[in-house]
């Protein structure tokens, strides 16, 4: 995976492997955390907008709106494993 | 007769969503002349590692007013529809409840509310459905979707759970409309603040990017919030999806 330093740092800060899942550790109500999901979505090779009823933030391109994010109890995991470039 | 139809766990990460299937099912019922259908609602269920779901664990429910003699046909049709249209790897479930035959709807409501925070087994769902005379059937995979389908009926019965599928389109100048205009152009029945205040017909609302309604007191309700710093006649704006996530 080829990622720039900023992206590498964000991944290291926010993404953790839990079992077989790659889980985002931030919160959507914290601007810095939310910003990371916007950066990830912009750099993602698999980002696909979810069906209208599941889009959470209609004005942003963020992992939270992606059809490959799977909600967990306190956040989400990426069903594609955060394929960022 | 009035029935509730709810489906769950029909999709995988690449397929059409359960909401789209529910919408197609309403069209099939209408095209066959069996009756009319109204508002599809999405009901959020428990998100827990021990519950298998694709990405969000929600079920889709709609109300239908059908001819009494057509109930069996609707059930058979919906069952065959799920077998044919559900995605590979999904575990679809179907629940159909005749509202006039429910002896103790509060038990279904209790099941629905608890399914938002507890894990149930298929046996528990089947037992409750049988005792209440509610149709419950599985149509592929593990059939785990019956739990969400039954819970969705219970939550719809509360009259106070879920968002309506789809977004409303309103013709408005400068992205603002009165309550009266909004109600005239859409299926929205009331406009209320997040705190519950009922807005008057001539109140003007700033319209957001996406206009969604939620089920409150059995009505399709547009929720709005106070427009901070407003200096003109527009004192309210529609809630965004973040505001509506708890519905």
Cβ contact (<8 Å) for B17 and A28?
no
Predicted local confidence at residue B231, as pLDDT: 72
- Whether the CB-CB separation of B92 and B139 falls below 8 Å is answered with yes
B55 touches chain A (CB under 8 A): yes
Burial of residue B189 (number of CB atoms within 10 Å: 0-12, 13-18, 19+): middle
The distance of A72 to chain B (nearest Cα, Å) reads 6
Is residue A21 scored above 60 in pLDDT? yes
Pairing of strands A75-78, A21-24: antiparallel
Determine the pLDDT at residue A4. Answer: 79
pLDDT for A55: 92
- Mean of pLDDT over chain B: 95
B9-43 pLDDT, tens digit per residue, is 998 888 889 999 999 999 999 999 999 999 999 99
- Per-residue pLDDT tens digits for B55-91: 788 999 999 999 999 999 999 999 999 999 999 999 9
Contact (CB<8Å) B209/A58: yes
B117 and A CB contact within 8 Å:
no
Distance separating alpha carbons of residues A49 and A45, to the nearest angstrom: 12
Cβ contacts of B242 on chain A, cutoff 8 Å: 28, 56-57
Query: Among A51, A70, A72, whose Cβ lies nearest the Cβ of B20?
Result: A51
B5 burial type by CB count under 10 A (0-12 exposed, 13-18 middle, 19+ buried): buried
Which residue ranges make up each domain of chain A?
3-78
CA distances from B23 to B124, B185, B213 (A): 28, 21, 17
Those residues of chain A whose CB sits closer than 8 Å to some CB in chain B are 28, 50-59, 67-73, 79
For CA atoms A31, B208, B157, B77, the dihedral sign is negative
B residues 151-190 closer than 8 Å to A (CB): 163, 165-167
Residues of chain B with pLDDT under 70: none
pLDDT of residue B56: 81
The answer to whether A51 contacts B57, with C-beta atoms less than 8 Å apart, is no
Token readout for A64 is 């939270």
Say whether A55 and B48 touch across the interface (CB within 8 A).
no
Interface contact flag, B210 A58, Cβ < 8 Å: yes
Extract the tokens encoding B162: 């879920």
Q: Which residues of B touch A75 (CB under 8 A)?
A: none
Which chain A residue shows the shortest CA-CA distance from B213? Answer: A53
Q: B162 and B42 in contact (C-beta within 8 Å)? A: yes
Q: In angstroms, what separates the C-alpha of A12 from chain B's closest C-alpha? A: 24
Kind and range of the H or E run holding B137: strand B135-138
ipTM at complex level: 0.83
Q: A interface mutation test: which of B18, B242, B243, B247 has the most A CBs within 10 A?
A: B242
């Amino acid at each position: 995976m080829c990622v720039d330093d900023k992206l590498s740092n964000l991944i290291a800060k926010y993404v953790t492997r839990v079992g077989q899942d790659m889980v985002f550790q931030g919160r959507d109500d914290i601007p810095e955390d939310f910003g990371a999901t916007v950066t990830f979505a912009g750099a993602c090779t698999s980002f696909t907008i979810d069906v209208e009823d599941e889009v959470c933030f209609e004005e942003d391109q963020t992992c939270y709106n992606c059809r490959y994010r799977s909600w967990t109890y306190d956040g989400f995991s990426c069903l594609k494993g955060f394929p960022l470039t | 007769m009035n029935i509730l139809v709810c489906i769950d766990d029909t999709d995988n990460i690449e397929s059409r969503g359960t909401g789209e299937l529910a919408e197609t099912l309403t069209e099939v019922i209408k095209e066959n002349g069996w009756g009319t259908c109204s508002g599809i609602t999405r009901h959020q269920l428990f998100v827990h590692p021990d519950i298998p779901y694709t990405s969000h664990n929600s079920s889709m429910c709609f109300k239908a007013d059908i001819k009494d003699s057509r109930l069996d046909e609707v059930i058979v049709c919906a069952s065959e529809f799920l077998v044919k249209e559900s995605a590979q790897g999904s575990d679809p479930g179907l629940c159909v409840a005749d509202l006039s035959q429910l002896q103790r709807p509060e038990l279904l409501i209790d099941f629905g509310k608890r399914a938002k925070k507890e894990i149930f087994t298929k046996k528990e769902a089947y037992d409750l459905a049988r005792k209440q005379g509610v149709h419950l059937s599985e149509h592929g995979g593990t059939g785990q979707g019956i739990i969400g389908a039954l819970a969705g009926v219970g939550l719809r019965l509360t009259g106070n759970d879920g968002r309506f599928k789809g977004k409303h389109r309103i013709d408005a100048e400068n992205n603002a409309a009165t309550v009266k205009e909004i109600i005239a152009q859409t299926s929205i029945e009331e406009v209320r603040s997040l705190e519950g205040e009922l807005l008057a017909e001539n109140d003007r609302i700033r319209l957001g990017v996406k206009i969604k309604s939620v089920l409150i007191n059995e009505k399709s309700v547009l929720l709005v919030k106070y427009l901070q710093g407003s200096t003109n006649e527009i004192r309210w704006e529609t809630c965004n999806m973040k505001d509506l996530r708890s519905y």
